[in-house]
């Protein structure tokens, strides 16, 4: 039995909500990646909340709200490319105020994997009808629903 090398990353997963809707995206050039929410890799030495805000800007083109709320943490693992990938994920709620387009495209210029830019197609879905999210990104949706139902501010 061979042991695979491990690639560890700290990740922020962002549940950005606006008017009872969740911001999601798909990758037009990689439809197999399914529906996702914004997020990404936290840089070594970076505070997790600062990294969450940075990732929101890098992935969406919009400045993150000042207040973000940690919903919880989990570890996600998978094997690909001859490696075991371990992601220490921190899930955040970002309540959005102001106006946002219903749909837009944005390009992530610096993805963690080192591959070229990734084109993303953003859109909002009703919180009551979120489609299955790729790679267990929906793990903290129940906690988000509970938080919103309780009217808890960030």
Domain boundary assignment for the chain: 6-149
Confidence (pTM): 0.93
Query: Around Cβ 18, how many Cβ atoms within 10 Å?
Result: 16
- Give which of 154, 153, 148 is closest to 19, Cα–Cα: 148
Domain 6-149: state its class. Answer: alpha beta
Q: Among 106-110, 127-131, 139-143, name the one with the lowest average pLDDT.
A: 106-110
pLDDT at 153: 63
Residue 1 has pLDDT above 90, yes or no: no
């Amino acid at each position: 039995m061979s042991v695979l090398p491990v690639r560890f990353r700290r990740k922020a997963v962002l549940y950005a909500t606006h008017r009872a809707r969740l911001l999601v995206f798909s990758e037009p050039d990689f439809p197999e990646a399914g529906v996702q929410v914004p997020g990404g890799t936290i840089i070594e030495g970076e505070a997790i909340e600062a990294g969450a805000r940075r990732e929101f800007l890098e992935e969406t083109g919009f400045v993150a709200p000042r207040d973000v709320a940690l919903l919880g943490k989990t570890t996600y693992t998978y094997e690909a490319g001859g490696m075991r990938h371990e992601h220490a994920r921190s899930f955040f709620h970002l309540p959005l105020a102001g106006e946002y387009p219903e749909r837009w495209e944005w390009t992530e210029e610096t993805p963690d994997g080192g591959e070229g830019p990734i084109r993303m197609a953003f859109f909002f879905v009703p919180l009551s009808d979120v489609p299955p999210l790729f790679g267990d990104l929906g793990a903290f949706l129940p906690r988000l629903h509970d938080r919103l139902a309780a009217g808890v501010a960030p």
